[in-house]
Structure 1
């Protein structure tokens, strides 16, 4: 069971960093899928803080390697302050995205909280993509492909400084799981920075259980566990409602095991749910699945265990 039983839902309705429109509707789709009441049914104290406000998506081409940089900065600053405020108040923030560029604001806030509280940080990045691009490496300029690089100090000054410390996190604190689409230059950069990546081939060969045992190894009572869950982590056959579908992701059972093993640690302290795009979904099934998996993070188990 999660040790932290008071949760704040924070909607961040923007697709400012994405290559397809529609992730801005993600927070509402998660609410329609009953994320609040579902968590309450597990004895969690849930407050829905509503949606944050930020600049509209101007839908312009990239400028000097970045699309919508000013707007991305504005949104991430708002997210940073909101997530940080919940942590300061002793509540667990669940950020309802929105596209994954917002992971920068969220995780930089978590890192700031951990620095001040003297805690270690472990970030699980559940995603089809490494999101470790820079303006030199990215073909598109879409900043949702850059948040991990920015958190590790590689990116435009305005973004990497949001958390008050550069870099916001050390690459060694991250475990990436489910990766199966990485640009060629990005691949080299991931290796250079020694990110720990459990890609789909690793999961195929070793299984999800072994993968998660390694990803969660050495967590202790002084570790804050942050999960950044990009819905495109899942196989598109079960989760079509994302802008960048990459076949060959975890199955329903693999994803459930992943979430249950995170829950078993009792260390989950903050969560992002990103890139849900209802415009591309089928009868909200991806949002319903996401809520089902989040429920497992809070102790719903498929087995009767003593």
Structure 2
């Protein structure tokens, strides 16, 4: 296992009540190195991917390794509306040891499978987007033969860059696509919020070749909600389970300044929340992650609060 660290309980602070009114009072702690016994069928597990090695390799601005704990500090202050039986458990962080990103991705895959087998839904806190490769493989290993896993990625970027010089934050879905092809299976991938000013033409060509579903950012807005919902429904009808990954750099920097690759040209939270509502109500959501939070460049913890609010929304919606 990579440099694994148990959760730092000091990240969970906020107002004090005697009724678990806040999530820092609801949170429980455990380890991926020991068996975990869930008390109900509604459980959520938080695991940090504390690495920006993939961003560094992709020539981005580093700092995302601090993202997981920044999300925790904001999430803990938020109100708790979960019922008493539902568990929210912090399993700590996986760190990137000796720049060995590939081992970190493999360790994440094993941890995700462990969490699913422990009857908890994994919510991975990033960290750079290379975590998607490990997260997907951990989910896929859990599935029964013949079950299809679809990927819905809220992002400005396809992340379909070739990994000929090693894995990085821009390569996870390229890796998955080629591995699926080697098994004579097609990747089930929908990228939402894609920008032409953030992807080269060869990435669009690769997406077309591998039949990637994508929705351009100019059509991913609340004014196009019916169209967005139809596209998501059509995609989810063709899969048994959904892995949802939210790259914070897909949001406009007006909402998310603290990311690895900020731009004012991104999407807004309202259409993402409506999309997450649809995904949650499908009953197919198997795993979720929020990635590319870079606290070094955040303003008043705005991006960390956005990440925490997205997680707060999905756990309560489920």
Give the TM bin, normalised by the shorter chain: 0.7 to 0.9
Q: Does 1:84 align with 2:100?
A: no
Distance 1:54 1:254 in 2: 33
Displacement, 1:214? 1.6
Q: Does 1:49 align with 2:77?
A: no
Q: Does 1:187 align with 2:228?
A: no
TM-score, normalization by structure 1: 0.79
- CA 295–4 in structure 1, closer or farther in 2 if over 3 Å, else same: farther
2:24 match = none
Q: Give the secondary-structure state (helix, strand or coil) at the position aligned to 1:288.
A: helix
* Counterpart selection for 2:149 from 106, 113, 121: 121
Contact 1:128 1:246 in 2 (8 A): no
Greater relative contact order, per chain length (Cα 8 Å cut-off, separation 6+): 1
Contact 1:96 1:272 in 2 (8 A): yes
Distance 2:81 2:310 in 1: 14
Query: 5 Å matches for 1:74-153?
Result: 74-116=103-145, 118-135=146-163, 143-153=168-178
Contact 2:150 2:239 in 1 (8 A): no
* Counterpart selection for 1:32 from 59, 68, 73: 73
1:304 match = none
1:226 match = 243
* Counterpart selection for 2:63 from 12, 22, 28: 22
- CA 111–145 in structure 1, closer or farther in 2 if over 3 Å, else same: same
Displacement, 1:40? 5.0
Matched length: 271
Contact 1:54 1:78 in 2 (8 A): no
Contact 2:159 2:169 in 1 (8 A): yes
Q: Which moved more, 1:22-31 or 1:188-197?
A: 188-197
1:65 match = none
Stretches of structure 2 lacking an aligned partner (at least 5 in a row)? 1-39
Distance 2:295 2:184 in 1: 31
Displacement, 1:38? 4.6
Q: Which moved more, 1:217-226 or 1:259-268?
A: 217-226
Q: Give the secondary-structure state (helix, strand or coil) at the position aligned to 1:282.
A: coil
- CA 34–77 in structure 1, closer or farther in 2 if over 3 Å, else same: same
Contact 2:64 2:126 in 1 (8 A): yes
* Counterpart selection for 1:289 from 283, 302, 306: 306
